[in-house]
Structure 1
Amino acid sequence: MNKINVIGTSGSGKSTFCKKLAATLDFPHIEMDKIFWGPNWKWPSDDEFFGNLKQALEKTNWILDGNYTRTVPIKWESVDVVIWLDYSFFRTLFQAIKRAAHRAWTKEELWEGTGNRESFRKSFFSKESIIWWTITTHGQVRKKYESYLTNPKFSHIKFVRLKSHKDAEAFLRALS
């Protein structure tokens, strides 16, 4: 288990889990959002994004934090394990709201050097809200991930499906 991608719906706690997993295994933690988002919430071209992702994945060991479906051919080419944080809708919604409120309150920069910060208006009163995204995509993302588990194209990958924080903590304990 050298190359691991942690996936899950928005609000599932991928980054928090990845930080713990990276510390447990002493592997670098690669955050896809950090690779994707530029200053002032600028989106890179796919060529730029894919190139930066390929470069980040050149390491021997890594914990990759994130989804971005269009990157599956790149990130899963050499991945050993995909860990799916498959938490309930209400759990992920609660976590998304809690995270958005915290980030809007503290005004913390999300990815160093980008200046990107969340605001209450953007987090709670916008169609671009991560909360709205969680509400509208949770079901379809879950169906997509379920299809990955049985897709012969991904038979080289070991999938680990964690359905609760308790499962996630037990998984981490078993590794240490």
Structure 2
Amino acid sequence: MQRILIYGVTGSGKSTLAARVGARLGLPYHPIDDLTWRPGWVPVPEAEQRDIIRDLLAADEWVIDAAYGMWHDLALERADLIVGLDLPRWRSWSRLLRRTVTNIVRHTSICNGNYETWRGAFLDRESMLVFHVKSFGRKRRRMRLWHASPDFPETVLLRSPREVETWLATMPSSR
């Protein structure tokens, strides 16, 4: 396992787990949101994202915490392992809500110097909270398909924080 994709719905804990996996295995972790958003919440154009991600995935070792639909094919071509965080909706939703409120209250910089706002989180149709609701079923179906089909890299589905911790404990320590 040298190229690992951590996948799940918004708020499932992808970034946290990816950082922990990278540290445990001694692999470089790349937070994808930092590569796909510019300051002012300006998205990196799709073609440019594909180029950035293609270059990153060309390396022999990496851990990433997402696979956006516009380029997940690139990740699937190179991944040795997919870890799907298939948590219940209530758990990922509550984590996302808690994270969002905390980021707003603490004025925490995320994604290249961007900040979440009350208006953006609760009144914007493009908010992460709305995105979670819209994308939950699609992302869950996708990771379950990857798990069920031999046409995709090995896929581990983790359905609870306990399963995450148990799985992580079975991994070797940094090489």
User: What TM-score range do you get, normalising by the shorter chain?
Assistant: over 0.9
2:66 is aligned with 1:70: no
The letter for the 2-side match of 1:130 is: M
SS of match in other structure, 1:22: helix
Could you report, residue by residue, the CA deviation over 1:117-163 in whole angstroms, capped at 9, with x for unpaired residues? 11111112221111121123212221222222334532xx1100000
Is contact 1:8-1:67 (8 Å) kept? no
- Contact kept? 1:82, 1:158, Cα under 8 Å: yes
RMSD: 1.4
State yes or no: 1:147 paired with 2:145.
yes
1:96 aligns with 2:92: no
Out of 86-95 and 28-37, give the one that drifted further.
Answer: 28-37
TM-score of the aligned structures, taking structure 2 as reference length: 0.92
Of 118, 125, 128, 1:127 maps to: 125
1:159 to 145, 148, 155: 155
Match of 2:116 in 1: 118
Q: Scaled by the length of structure 1, what TM-score is found?
A: 0.92
Partner of 2:34: 34
Deviation string 1:26-59 (CA, Å, 9 cap, x unpaired) is 1111111111111211122222111111122232
* Letter of the structure 2 residue corresponding to residue 145 of structure 1: M
Residue identity matched to 1:150:
A
Structure 2 residue matching 1:70: 3-state secondary structure:
coil
Whether the 8 Å contact between 1:30 and 1:65 is mirrored in structure 2 is: yes
Distance 2:49 2:102 in 1: 28
Which residue in the other structure is 1:137 paired with? Answer: 135
For structure 2, the residue ranges without an aligned partner over 5 or more in a row are: none
> CA separation in 1, counterparts of 2:150 and 2:15?
28
Q: Could you tell me which residue of structure 1 aligns to residue 13 of structure 2?
A: 13
Structure 1, gaps ≥5 residues long: none
Q: Percent identity, please.
A: 25
1:170 — aligned with what?
A: 166
**CA 1:98 to 1:44, structure 2 compared with 1: closer, same or farther past 3 Å?**
same
Matching residue's letter, 1:162: L
Alignment length, in residue pairs?
172
Distance (Å, rounded) in 2 between the aligned partners of 1:142 and 1:58: 27
Residues 62-88 of structure 1 deviation map (CA, whole Å, 9 limit, x = unaligned) = 111113022122111121000000000
Which residue identity is paired with 1:120? Answer: W
Runs of 4 or more off by more than 2 Å in structure 1? 147-153
Asked if the contact 2:147–2:157 (Cα under 8 Å) also holds between the matched residues in 1, the reply is no
- Mean Cα deviation higher: 144-153 or 129-138: 144-153
